[in-house]
Amino acid sequence: MTKSEHAAIDRYVNMPELLARVEDDRELLAELLALFIKDFPKLRDVLHHAVHADVPSQVEEAAHALKGMLANLSIQRGAELAANIEAAARAGDAREIQLAMDAFNAEETGLLPAVAAFMGGE
Amino acid sequence: MKILIADDDAVSLRLLEKTLERAGYEVTAVSHGRKAAEELCRPDGPRLALLDWMMPQLDGPGVCRTVRRKRSQSHVYLVLLTSKSSKEDIVEGLESGADDYLTKPFDLGELKARLRTGMRILELEDNLLEAREDMRYKATHDSLTSLLNRGTILELLAGELNRKRRDKSSVSIALGDLDHFKLVNDTYGHIMGDEVLREVGRRLLGSVRSYDFVGRYGGEEFLVVLNNCVAEKSVDRVEEIRKAIGSSPVRTTHGRIPITMSLGVAVSSPSDTRPLEEILCEVDGALYAAKSAGRNCCRLGNVCPE
């Protein structure tokens, strides 16, 4: 793996924390990241649909699910941003939801490529 | 130890599964609440569970409520593991019947420590149940023969007398007394006498049906309750018991000791409304008649001696 691939994943994932959580099991780490690559786009699409449909309860639910997945993989900033969407949806604040969504979208743009590159390098 | 994990997030589920397997647990992983409740409510289901809060079909608190409502045998230790972390959420989770609450992402050390706490509590409960069962057994059984004790056999007999009135069936009651048992004690000593009583208990149990009751009534007296046994059959049944008792000498550490038993029988028909004491009086009279007739026989009673 190149230094730049390491740097890319480190921007999103707290790797020491994640490695500690998986007890330094690289096979498990690869398995979890593969599941993430498969499931994350689905959850993200559910969130987008809920935002477009303007149903705060569904936004809250989808953001909550994303928050849990991201937190488990020590994708801390992503989890924080998903938590912001969840909080805004719980408050029923459409403007806050949109602002939180914008921040989340900006953050997650590079996330999947970084994880995929890391997986390829591993 | 079996543990159930329920989470609709595949990443979380796999992470937990692997972590817990590594820690020595036998893991059942499910992805929705309905399946979790079903597994936990099975009599041989896991007694330790980690439940996500938000799941399809039935959420974590819903699983807790279902398990608490349905399962009464032994405690299931339920831990909610969720990224909901407000005080209100914690209170709601615990109020639903969860024993503990952990927030995602879990800390490995904390997760293991809390599960060990759960196991300690389950172990404590098992010990209490075992002690209670042991006490219940001691309170209802004779310590020498392991047959039902006097109080219990009389209680069961009273219950059967009520039941046969409802079911319109008959109950036969036999009271047996070992012949010349004092001589056994005097000749071979009380230790041998105890061996004989234990063997008599075994022979009695071996000669009745699984739904009959046998109890030690007094020193060398035994009460047998033959459920659903009509008058015409009762003497034959009790004769079989008598023959089983005297079939061969009892082998003891001090040699073979021949034994016989005298038995009195009473039958309570569906229309019989006599109280228990009166029926016991009748069976006692029948036993006296068997003794008077030369012992090692049985007699059917019909009158209560004055």
pLDDT digits (tens, 9 = 90+) for B240-255: 999 999 999 999 988 8
Q: Does B14 touch chain A (CB under 8 A)?
A: yes
**Where residue B230 falls among pLDDT bands split at 50, 70, 90?**
confident
Output the pLDDT for position A3. 57
**Residue B186 pLDDT exceeds 60:** yes
As a whole number of angstroms, the longest Cα–Cα distance in chain A is 44
The ipTM is 0.89
Q: In degrees rounded to 5, what are phi and psi of residue B174?
A: -120, 135
CB within 8 Å: B11 and A35: yes
| Average of per-residue pLDDT across B120-124 | 95
User: Any idea which residue has 């997986």 for tokens?
Assistant: A119
Question: Left if phi > 0, otherwise alpha if psi is -120 to 50, otherwise beta: which for B218?
Answer: beta
Output the pLDDT for position B304. 41
3-class secondary structure for chain B?
Answer: CEEEEECCCHHHHHHHHHHHHHCCCEEEEECCHHHHHHHHHCCCCCCEEEECCCCCCCCHHHHHHHHHHHCCCCCCEEEEEECCCCHHHHHHHHHCCCCEEEECCCCHHHHHHHHHHHHHHHHHHHHHHHHHHHHHHHHHECCCCCCECHHHHHHHHHHHHHHHHHHCCCEEEEEEEECCHHHHHHHHCHHHHHHHHHHHHHHHHHCCCCCCEEEECCCCEEEEEEECCCHHHHHHHHHHHHHHHHCCCEEECCEEECCCEEEEEEEECCCCCCCHHHHHHHHHHHHHHHHHCCCCCEEECCCCCC
Determine which of B5, B7, B9 to mutate to test the interface with A (most A C-beta atoms within 10 Å): B9
| Average of per-residue pLDDT across A15-38 | 95
Output the pLDDT for position B143. 96
Smallest CA–CA distance, residue A36 to chain B, in Å, is 7
Output the pLDDT for position B53. 92
| Average of per-residue pLDDT across B150-160 | 96
Output the pLDDT for position B43. 87
Give the integer Cα–Cα distance in Å for A50 and A38: 20
**Residue A2 pLDDT exceeds 90:** no
Closest CB from B11, B18, B108 relative to A72: B11
Q: Considering chain B, what is the average pLDDT of its residues?
A: 93
| Average of per-residue pLDDT across B41-52 | 94
**Residue B305 pLDDT exceeds 60:** no
CB within 8 Å: A21 and B18: no
CB within 8 Å: A35 and B10: yes
| Residue of B243, B196, B202, B204 lying closest to B222 (CA atoms) | B204
**Residue B306 pLDDT exceeds 70:** no
Contacts of B86 in chain A (CB under 8 A): none
Smallest CA–CA distance, residue B127 to chain A, in Å, is 34
Q: Considering chain A, what is the average pLDDT of its residues?
A: 91
Q: Does B89 touch chain A (CB under 8 A)?
A: no
- pTM score: 0.72
